[in-house]
Amino acid sequence: MKSNETPANALPPRDASKHGLHRTMTLGGKYATRNHTVKHLQDLKGKTVLTETMPFTTSEAVAAEEAGIDTLKVKFDPADPAGAIAIRNAAPHTFMTFCIGLTKIATAAEAVRAGYDAMDFGADGIMCQWGPEFIRAVADAGIPVEAHAGLVPRLSTWTGGLRAVGKTIEEAMWVFEQIQAFEQAGAWAVEVEVIPADLLTQISKRTRLVTSSIGAGSGGDIQFMFAEDILGNHAPPYPRHTKQYRNLYKMEQEIQVERVEGFREYIDDVKSGRFPGPEHIVKAPAGLIDQFLAELDGNQDDEISPK
């Protein structure tokens, strides 16, 4: 390496704290600066409510970091990690959890391997919908792991479909006992989805886990909503627990109309001879075409003359 080059993963600057960042090293062995670490998030439990989203594009990730979203989640497929890596790189200073799909893992050993892969790619932790056995294996390997309780959409057949969970005493106790089991297994956080708001408030007071609320009111430590819901990326209806702060779907529809009209006008101009016009073409210098035709005629005469 030349003396004037910056090392590929240089030690983070000592003044990172002036920018609201913490100097750290990922479990994958890379130096980094982050707005939060696991310890900072644990220390903030019960003191403030943080914000969290899941971007699906690098543009959304860049915007979320610039806006000051506290923590990010990203879908992570161990067999196809490119999308997660791109989003990690797009928001390099934001605490980011890689979410591993339920069916991507079949054994505790695979869970640990996938967790290590995520950390190698720059994750600050992983999130899963696994049971305590897999969570314990991952936590014992030193990987920060977030569990999922309440309504788990992929497991919703066991709780009666896509509906709120915890509205009976039996279900409320089941959710609480789930969270206790995750805590005992070594999780540091839990995403709690679509349970009564007051129930999460009480549960959050009774667990050491950092609670991330999605559709479960303001009683958690983190308020989580998908980027596509915040930005209104899709047509209605929207999930009841979401709020649209922009209507990018409407904007995209309007842009699509403009695309179609642009292509139609182009077709019409070509067919009518309006395009290309004089301003779009290169004009031949005076005499060039006459010289070109004369040259062609001369070549043709040479080809047909008898030998």
- Residues annotated catalytic, as ranges: 193
φ, ψ of residue 66 in degrees (nearest 5):
-60, -35
DSSP alpha helix (H) spans, the chain: 38-43, 58-67, 82-90, 108-120, 132-140, 169-185, 197-205, 227-230, 248-272, 288-304
In angstroms, the CA 307 to CA 305 distance is 7
- How is residue 288 written in tokens? 């060039």
What sign results for the dihedral spanned by CA atoms 207, 213, 218, 224?
A: positive
In angstroms, the CA 190 to CA 52 distance is 13
Q: How many Cβ atoms are within 10 Å of 55's Cβ, its own excluded? A: 27
Give the length of the chain.
307
264, HSE (Cβ side, Cα atoms, 13 Å)? 6
- Report DSSP state, residue 153: G
Residues 6+ apart with CB under 8 A from 213: 192, 200, 219, 220, 222, 223, 224
Coil, strand or helix at 291? helix
Considering only CA atoms, give the Rg of the chain. Answer: 29
End-to-end C-alpha distance for the chain, whole angstroms? 70
